[in-house]
Copies of this chain bind each other. A is one copy, B any other.
Amino acid sequence: MAPNVLDDARLTAIGLLFEVHDGLTRRLAEQLSEHGLPPAEFEVLLRLARSPGGRLRMSDLAAQVSLSAGGLTRLVDRLERRGLAERAACPTDRRGAFAVVTPEGRRLVEKAVRGHVELIERWYTGLLEPAELAAVSSALRKVRAAVHPGADAGTTPAAASL
């Protein structure tokens, strides 16, 4: 084991994080595709379904799901074509638009989310002791606060002023 720059412990530390992410993504995507839902579309529907009025501003949604504005435009296009979401004008700002889940979209996420959560339990949360999981989450929360501002764009008025 050469004390090489290429073998830095920090490199393997994020490597671990990334590999876990890939692995989980893969498993979860498989299950979601049984419902005809790519992961990104599932996440958008989920976030809409959780929001008051089932709606969110396009730009807030884009920030939450880490998608570019253009990417989100087309994603919502696809959802709209399938009748899972629709757009609504923003009364206070005529530039803006809301994305809104339709009842059908809501039914679909609620159906898909059950198996989804089961898989999370099987491949992630269930593999760890409760205390272990709590420790991981608390650590990740710190990191998220640093690297992913706007994770909760549009959820709290205060968040906008950060």
Contacts and interface: CB of A to CB of B under 8 A. Distances in A.
Interface of A: 4-8, 10-11, 13-14, 16-28, 46, 49-50, 66, 109-110, 113-114, 116-117, 120-121, 123-125, 127-128, 132-133, 135-137, 139-144, 146-148, 151
For the complex of A and B, list the 10 residue pairs with the smallest distance between their C-beta atoms, beginning with the closest.
A23-B147, A23-B148, A22-B66, A21-B21, A10-B120, A16-B140, A10-B125, A135-B135, A19-B148, A136-B139
Given A113-B5, A136-B135, A124 B20 contact: no
Nearest to A24: B147
A36 B159 CA distance: 34
A139 B144 contact: no
B19 A110 contact: no
A24 B17 CA distance: 10
A34 B69 CA distance: 24
Contacts of A146: 23, 123, 127
A7 B49 CA distance: 10
User: For chain A, what secondary structure do more than half of its interface residues adopt (helix, strand, loop), or is it mixed?
Assistant: helix
Contacts of A132: 135, 139
A125 to B, nearest CB: 5
A109 B4 CA distance: 12
A120 B20 contact: no
A31 to B, nearest CB: 13
Given A23-B147, A148-B22, A13 B139 contact: no
Contacts of A120: 10-11, 13-14
A33 to B, nearest CB: 16
